[in-house]
Structure 1
């Protein structure tokens, strides 16, 4: 068994540990937050981590009612002077697999020098990020040995969401995260066969469509397709795909579409248009909806839409894995990709 497969299918075991760990450290999180009373939250990450930061930015605005920003680690490092005003009075949160990616570590050092409090979330113990942070949250059971992140991504996504719930004292959000984790093993068992079927179909490029709190995790899904089966993939907002990208949709396109429980007709018509251009479409949405897609994946209708991102990401991860195996690729070692970027500093 490849590491990537092992890590994808063990992600819910790790998620249970991550959830329990966040709850056990909730008071430390609240104490730091209440001690600084930040006027905003700033999320900083690279690659997959940055996608998760974008998801957390949206969830913070919707769930905590606080201004929030996501900044790519390299952007913040190179253009720190551009962001100094944004960082004034903010709290910085940095999710990272290794806790050692140079862009994030060096950017955090600059932020610390101007007095910005930092929460680091890393899947490695004793990392450089952890040493810099005012509060270091370490989830080593979620660390991916494979170059491509899967289990780590899902755990950092859930950790960000749980962190926001803790700060907002949102017990319903915490309960729904718990519910999603409990249902995860059964969800994977139910849809593994479907993932293999989708992977065996004839398609050569991917578009991932999603909105609202699933924006960031859907961007990560596109990265997963690029890295694991090495297939060109792009992310767009659901209805926004008509504004240009639709011209590239054809019979060689797989569309992975996360659909909201809102505005059924508008979204159903979009699926019709994708199908009309020959795309193969898998829809991921609340149970009971009929979208006219080739494949339908049902997730519970959570009151907090961001929770749906936890089961959602399994589908592109699993489809990407099986597509890579069908192509004869080693999903653990994509050529030209490193698990951590070290700028030599």
Structure 2
């Protein structure tokens, strides 16, 4: 494989297996941590890709009975700690960072621990890191740490970790099994879909829209960012039906729209997909069924776990493969986009 990005995308099934095993190994410790802290107010915090993951974490836990959750960008909190004081006070704060060294996050953690009586759960991919001294529980997964500036493998593994934490919190063994299946099938998914996605990447599109609902909205935003960072193709993301409320005006024949389908409300989705097709661009759906039923140009099968948070794994993978292959077609260096660094030091 020619680049770090290619290796990190196409070998991530190995890291996912390690992450699943690691979280299962620490299942009782994590459950005891949740029970011990007793927090019903949970704050998810990150920067960049980690903030978008935080948004999906917030959507997951916010759906749990009796739980209030919010996602805050680390830099936003650092700039406005007084504004967020009541929001974060006495909460469980879940912080995400590949490096564990991003200055906004380190400074935010210092404030949260000193002044807001917060309990901290840290998820990072590097050791040593600067989060450790603030963390009440630290989950470190250095096998998924991307060397490339743009995160791919790290994102998918962090998403898996968040999903498993949610399963532990809710005692949800069914979804945990769905995640295990998605991890087990990940390598096969790549083998079955890379050639097809490579052909889509070769098409003449110069803008990407990623649409998804519910807990997937955060990782859809991360998917849009992957196109922007890796391929230098502008990407944006919206909730599915909300896209009609203005942004669809820019959707044209050179727009690739990637849609994560859901099992319910099929007719509402089919109506939106029909409207997208009228714009003249290429519409790629991730879900189940046939492209004829959904009225799209191509459909990627998300597997039988489509109706759970496990669908986020093939969804992310689809986007990462497309972004990488588009970068190759355009002659970009996906490992080192101009003007970006792996983490920010202030």
- TM-score range, shorter-chain basis? over 0.9
Displacement, 1:133?
0.6
Larger deviation, residues 55-64 vs 1-10: 55-64
Offset of residue 131 of structure 1: 2.6
The 3-state SS of whatever aligns with 2:138 is strand
CA deviation vs aligned residue, 1:281-319 (integer Å, no higher than 9, x gap): 100112457211111101124375321001101111111
Aligned to 1:123: 125
Is 1:133 equivalent to 2:143 in the alignment?
A: no
Deviates more, 1:165-174 or 1:139-148: 165-174
Which residue matches 1:192?
Answer: 194
Query: Which digits, 9 at most, give the CA deviation of each residue in 1:236-280, with x for residues without a partner?
Result: 111111110111011110101111111111111111111111111
Corresponding residue for residue 177 of structure 2? 175
Alpha-carbon distance change, 197 to 184 in structure 1, aligned in 2, over 3 angstroms: same
Please list every run of 5 or more consecutive structure 1 residues that lacks an aligned counterpart in the other structure. Answer: none
Q: Find the counterpart in structure 2 of residue 322 from structure 1.
A: 325
Deviations 1:151-180 (A, max 9, x none): 000000110111111121111121111011
CA distance in 1, matches of 2:117, 2:330: 50
Cα deviation per residue 1:64-85 (whole Å; 9 max; x = unaligned)? 6511110000011111111111
- Asked if the contact 2:90–2:119 (Cα under 8 Å) also holds between the matched residues in 1, the reply is no
Contact (CA 8 Å) 1:64, 1:164: kept in 2 or not?
A: no
Superposition pairs of residues 220-235 of structure 1, within 5 angstroms:
220-235=222-237
- 2:89 is aligned to 88
Give secondary structure in 1 for the equivalent of 2:83: helix
State the partner residue of 2:110: 109
The count of corresponding residues between Structure 1 and Structure 2 is 343
Equivalent residue for 1:338, pick from 330, 336, 341? 341
Q: Secondary structure at the match of 1:336?
A: coil
**CA distance in structure 2 between the partners assigned to 1:65 and 1:184 by the alignment:** 34
Task: Name the structure 2 match of 1:34.
Answer: 35
Superposed CA offset, 1:80-116 (max 9, x none): 1111111123100011111111111111111111321
Matched, 1:53 2:60: no
Q: Structure 1 residue 16: deviation in Å?
A: 0.8
Q: Is 1:296 the equivalent of 2:299?
A: yes
Q: Per the alignment, do residues 64 and 297 of structure 1 end up closer, same or farther by CA in structure 2, a change over 3 Å counting?
A: farther
Structure 2, unpaired ranges of 5+: none
Q: Secondary structure, in 3 states, of the residue corresponding to 1:81?
A: coil
- Is the Cα–Cα contact under 8 Å of residues 42 and 87 in structure 1 kept in the other structure? yes
Tell me, in whole angstroms, the C-alpha distance in 2 between the residues paired with 1:301 and 1:273: 27
TM-score under structure 1 normalisation?
0.97
Whether contact under 8 Å (1:122, 1:130) holds in the other structure is: no
Separation of aligned partners in 2, 1:288 and 1:130 = 48
Kindly indicate whether the alpha-carbon contact (under 8 Å) linking 1:102 and 1:341 is maintained by their aligned counterparts in 2: yes
Q: Could you tell me which of 190, 213, 228 is aligned with 1:211?
A: 213
